[in-house]
Copies of this chain bind each other. A is one copy, B any other.
């Protein structure tokens, strides 16, 4: 009987190898060859899952979005912490404070850049951003229900601001040691709602 190959699983494993290479050596280290070599497969096998270099990078992005999406969902559903605490964790989950999150920030940054000139890739990125904002928005609504945030505020607007601020900080932190130092120094991130906007303190 032939061995049954779980193609989705192997595809995910290969995408993980690509993400790992990005984390350790940057985006340029990812080619069909280096991923095949690192994973211990031939480039022929790799070609079965990713037809081109671009296809491989899109695979890595989708994998990163899937991992991050699962993380968002998990943080959102963790009822052992209160909503404001969960908002803090949602922001922290995207800040490049360890290898995993450095890799995530790098790959998203690369795809943001790539998708600026590629409608198909842009749709993938926009979907990811929508999903992220929706998760944040839901937790904001929970915080409003719990009386932690004023109920008259528009959750969608607050979510858009918080997500943009988080992403801007993540991006600057991998580009500029000074920003990373500030984030690391902060120890724990504070998020407070002041009047009708978030205050995210990183000092």
Contacts and interface: CB of A to CB of B under 8 A. Distances in A.
Interface of A: 25-29, 105-106, 109-110, 112-118, 122, 125-126, 129-130, 154, 157, 160-161, 163-169, 171-172, 174-179, 182, 194-197, 199-203
A120 to B, nearest CB: 13
A96 to B, nearest CB: 10
Contacts of A161: 165, 169, 200, 202
A108 to B, nearest CB: 9
A72 to B, nearest CB: 16
A98 B71 CA distance: 36
Contacts of A129: 172, 175-176, 179
A169 to B, nearest CB: 4
Contacts of A112: 109, 113, 171, 175
**3 pairs of A and B residues whose beta carbons are closest in the complex:** A26-B117, A168-B168, A113-B113
A57 to B, nearest CB: 11
A35 B126 CA distance: 30
Contacts of A106: 116-117
B182 A164 contact: no
